[in-house]
Amino acid sequence: MKKAFIFDLDGVIVDTAKYHFLAWQNLANSLSISFSEEQNEQLKGVSRVRSLEKILEWGNKTISEEEFTRLMAEKNEEYLTYISRMDTSEILPDVPRILNYLISKTQAIALGSASKNARIILDKVELTNKFNTIVDGTDVSKAKPDPEVFLIGAKALDIAPEDCVVFEDSVAGVQAANIANMISIGIGDAKVLHEADYVFKDFTEIKEEFLDTLLTT
Ligand code: B16
Ligand code: MG
């Protein structure tokens, strides 16, 4: 049976959280706000606008709308310099094995990311041609846990939500998949992602036999 497999980008295909961290940290420092790796964890899967709002909340700072827009642009410019240096070595372990297996089984493949830079990143790591459709932060108006990003992907592939499987590393993303009535597979810590239907530490733990069970149910 044909199913759709929807992949989140950051934390699932590549680890761009480290680049977001560097850029957000510089921005926070410029405002005399301290910003830790733990706080960066809480920004995973969160939109750019909401991320800056949260940093300002943590620092107890209020800024004008103009400054907000300027800071977002500056942060993204710095982030873009980091991702411009990315290459195929940054693809997380066994992602190509899983993609290639699903493609060999003629399954539909989608990207479902909150990032407005998703297309650039996929090009840098040379994975764009693996995807039948790409839905990213430029296509959605509502952030995860709203299921919009995954529902747009399912519609583009003409596959019913209950026949979609989502790979996600963020709590909000797992919740979005569940709300969309899709099968959710958490990639990361089982305690953090306990709402997912299945959780794997990373793709090296996912066997072809497991994928086969998803194809036949
Ligand atoms: P951008 P994902 C998310 O990507 C990141 O996890 C999150 O940290 C980031 O703020 C968001 O994209 C927006 O990214 O600034 O590039 O538009 O996990 O949904 O692939
Ligand atoms: Mg993610």
Residue 217 has pLDDT above 80, yes or no: no
User: Mean pLDDT across the chain, nearest whole number?
Assistant: 97
194-213 pLDDT, tens digit each: 999 999 999 999 999 999 99
Tens digits of per-residue pLDDT, 24-36? 999 999 999 999 9
Q: Give the residues across from 187 on adjacent strands.
A: 200
The pLDDT of residue 96 is: 98
* pLDDT in the model for residue 174: 97
pLDDT of amino acid 180: 98
Residues 177-189: what's their mean pLDDT?
98
How far apart are the C-alpha atoms of 54 and 115, rounded to whole Å?
Answer: 17
CA-CA distance, 178 to 207, in Å (whole number)?
Answer: 23
Query: Does residue 1 have a pLDDT over 80?
Result: no
For the stretch 111-160, pLDDT in tens is 999 999 999 999 999 999 999 999 999 999 999 999 999 999 999 999 99
Q: Which of 6, 10, 35 is the best mutation target for the ligand 1 pocket, counting ligand atoms within 8 Å of the beta carbon and taking the most?
A: 10
DSSP label of 10: B
Which backbone phi and psi does 87 adopt, to 5 degrees? -145, -170
Residue nearest (by alpha carbon) to ligand 1 atom 3: 45
Q: For 7-16, what is the mean pLDDT?
A: 97
Sign of CA dihedral 81, 84, 89, 91: positive
| 10 assigned to active site | yes
Question: Given this model, what pLDDT does residue 45 score?
Answer: 87
What percentage of the chain carries pLDDT values higher than 90? 96
Instruction: Tell me the mean pLDDT in the region 38-53.
Output: 93
Q: What is the mean pLDDT of residues 53-64?
A: 98
- Write the single-letter amino acid at 155: K
DSSP state of 77: H
pLDDT, mean of residues 59-86:
98
Residues with Cβ within 8 Å of residue 78, at least 6 apart in sequence: 22, 23, 26, 27
Percent with pLDDT over 70 in the chain: 100
How many C-beta atoms surround the C-beta of residue 50 within 10 A? Answer: 14
* Protein residue with least CA distance to atom 15, ligand 1: 48
Mean pLDDT on 4-28? 97
Task: Report residues whose beta carbon is within 6 angstroms of any ligand 1 atom.
Answer: 8-11, 20, 43-48, 51, 76, 113-117, 137, 170
